[in-house]
Amino acid sequence: MNSEPIGVFDSGVGGLTVLSALRTTLPHENFLYLGDTARVPYGNKSASTIQRYALEATHYLLKQDIKLLVIGCNTVTAEALATLQAEFPDLPIIGVIEPGALRALQASKTQQIGVLATRATLQSGAYDRTIKQHANDAQVFTYSAPLLVPLAEEGWLSGEVATQTVQKYLQQVLKHSIDCLLLGCTHYPLFVPLIQSLLPEHITLVDSATTTAQATLLQLQKMGLENKQDHHGSMQFYVTDDPLEFSNIGRLFLGQEIFPQTVHLTGLKPF
Amino acid sequence: MNSEPIGVFDSGVGGLTVLSALRTTLPHENFLYLGDTARVPYGNKSASTIQRYALEATHYLLKQDIKLLVIGCNTVTAEALATLQAEFPDLPIIGVIEPGALRALQASKTQQIGVLATRATLQSGAYDRTIKQHANDAQVFTYSAPLLVPLAEEGWLSGEVATQTVQKYLQQVLKHSIDCLLLGCTHYPLFVPLIQSLLPEHITLVDSATTTAQATLLQLQKMGLENKQDHHGSMQFYVTDDPLEFSNIGRLFLGQEIFPQTVHLTGLKPF
């Protein structure tokens, strides 16, 4: 059981930053990553569509005997975590929203927290709701930064365009007196060095990739599910459409070559 | 028959620049625009998937009695125009690639032509192939500019980030001695003023939206299908997922309020 893999599900490549953090925190675990690239992006789809896709993906990963599921995607976490938990009560499932929200509350002294995310994630209200569930007097300020996703996928993580784009988004952020900025999109951890260099020192930066990896470690320890092997764990990649672009961007996101395999989810038939 | 609408099909919002050009060129025509927003973007999907989606969309529009179909999307034109023409031999179908390619060949004295497009469109080889079909000694240089799509959808059509992004892409373009630059993505016409201001004078800029509208006018005249009514034609919008974001971006692209209606294409069932 303990050597069984951890499933990581995302609509596309963004979850690879979560996988990267998981590999650092849990080097002995085996991972199966599923990117639903035939249907990416999920951000502009309705909640019921996202729930259906997430159920299909989880069924697929369960057939590969995963011991735990990490949802490496803010949109799926916001729209489908509760649905998945109800449908699969025996599978531990970790989303990317609560770990980041809890870490932000720990890091903030003033309880005035900024959240930088995509429009879809902010519209779901999930960060605001989750933060206030744990601290109902917290103030949450949200900012959308949609261009950071394509900038990351273009590989423009520094340089003039990236710097000016981040500066333009941070101008909005700095209008409020926050002392913690939470990155609520799985693409954004790639910009941590740039954002850190442009953010005033009194604002703590929290990203959901490393916090989700930490939450996964705690969950495995709690359930006694850690893999005790002493060699490095493996990674396998499944995508639902042409693997070429995923490989190209994946190399950039993970810093190594990856060789994804195309699979068909139930009811999907992309080819 | 002549008052029947012209169908315009795109995977999302990009085709609205084509619709905008069509409205200017053909103010008396009625238009039905279908944006397959539940499955956008098509660029990362396989040819057979795109062909299947395009067939579904055309069947849908034919049920609304369109007299002519404009494919307002480079990816669909590249991957599915021939399939659609074979499947619907009685329907005049106009893609966005050939009109732009022909206009570029007319505009260029040196027959050295640059094409700025998305990675998917360039990978299809459709512009290179089409230009060389008409002038086999033409030289075609291609450049991908993927960030212009999200910049357009963010509404950043001028200002520092847009200017520097365009400049960065034009640096690649100016390495070759072209005398004509063809914009091979339906989002790019929104950047015509900016690109024009940064492009050396001896390079003619050609966009596929206005050239496609011109080709549509000629086709209607040739077939005697023009609408002779003397009042302005109507526009109706169908989308396959939540209409809200489409309305927001559509306002930006068309310069007026639009009220799309959500429809289900055969076999799609997005909800």
**Above 90 in pLDDT, residue B82?**
yes
Q: Do A270 and B149 touch (CB under 8 A)?
A: no
Burial class (CB in 10 A: 0-12, 13-18, 19+), B210: buried
Residue A245, classed as helix, strand or coil, is helix
Q: Where are the beta strands (DSSP E) in B36-100?
A: 68-71, 93-94
A40: chain B residues, CB-CB within 8 Å: 44
Substitution target in A118, A148, A153, A165 with the highest count of B β-carbons within 10 Å is A165
As a dihedral over the C-alpha atoms of residue A148, residue A149, residue A154, residue A157, rounded to 10 degrees, the angle is: 40
Neighbours of A135 (CB within 10 A): 16
Catalytic entry in A185, A209, A213, A258: A185
Per-residue b or e along B126-151, where b marks 16 or more CB atoms closer than 10 Å to that residue's CB: bbbebbeeebeebbbbbbbbbbbbbb
Tell me the pLDDT tens digit for each residue of A188-217: 999 999 999 999 999 999 999 999 999 999
Over its C-alpha atoms, chain A yields an Rg (Å, rounded) of 18
The mean per-residue pLDDT over the stretch B179-192 comes to 97
At residue A265, the pLDDT reads 85
Per-residue b or e along B226-242, where b marks 16 or more CB atoms closer than 10 Å to that residue's CB: ebeeeeebebebbbbbb
Tell me the pLDDT tens digit for each residue of A260-269: 999 988 654 4
- The nearest alpha carbon in chain A to B119 belongs to A245
The mean per-residue pLDDT over the stretch A223-234 comes to 91
Over its C-alpha atoms, chain B yields an Rg (Å, rounded) of 18
Q: Do B146 and A156 touch (CB under 8 A)?
A: no
- The nearest alpha carbon in chain A to B47 belongs to A271
- The nearest alpha carbon in chain A to B270 belongs to A49
- The nearest alpha carbon in chain B to A151 belongs to B147
Catalytic entry in B73, B96, B115, B148: B73
Q: Which amino acid is at B40?
A: V
Q: What are phi and psi of A259, to 5 degrees?
A: -130, 85
Give A269's contacts (C-beta < 8 A, 6+ positions apart).
Answer: none
How far from the centroid of its chain's Cα atoms is residue A165's Cα? Answer: 22
The mean per-residue pLDDT over the stretch B115-125 comes to 92
Q: Do B44 and A44 touch (CB under 8 A)?
A: no
Task: With a threshold of 0.95, tell me whether the complex ipTM lies above it.
Answer: no
Q: Are A195 and A184 in contact (CB under 8 A)?
A: no
Nearest Cα of chain A lies from the Cα of B146 at a distance, in angstroms, of: 7
Tell me the pLDDT tens digit for each residue of A11-26: 999 999 999 999 999 9
Catalytic entry in A73, A120, A126, A181: A73
pLDDT band, very low/low/confident/very high, at B134 (cuts 50, 70, 90): very high
CA distance B221 to B233: 17
Residue A238, classed as helix, strand or coil, is strand
Q: Which amino acid is at A18?
A: V
Where residue B125 falls (left for φ over 0; alpha for ψ -120 to 50; beta otherwise) is left
How far from the centroid of its chain's Cα atoms is residue A146's Cα? Answer: 15
The mean per-residue pLDDT over the stretch A141-147 comes to 95
At residue B19, the pLDDT reads 97
Judged by a CB distance cut-off of 8 A, whether residue B154 touches chain A is: yes
At B81, list the tokens. Answer: 């125009």
Alpha helices in B64-191 (DSSP H): 74-87, 97-107, 119-124, 126-134, 148-154, 160-173
The answer to whether A180 is a known catalytic residue is no
Judged by a CB distance cut-off of 8 A, whether residue B242 touches chain A is: yes
Pairing of strands B112-117, A6-10: unpaired
Closest Cβ opposite residue B164 in set A39, A41, A160: A160
At residue B269, the pLDDT reads 42
Tell me the pLDDT tens digit for each residue of B30-72: 999 999 998 888 887 888 989 999 999 999 999 999 999 999 9
Among A20, A184, A191, A211, CA closest to A107: A211
pTM of the model: 0.86
Tell me the pLDDT tens digit for each residue of B218-268: 999 999 999 988 889 999 999 998 898 899 999 989 989 999 999 988 654
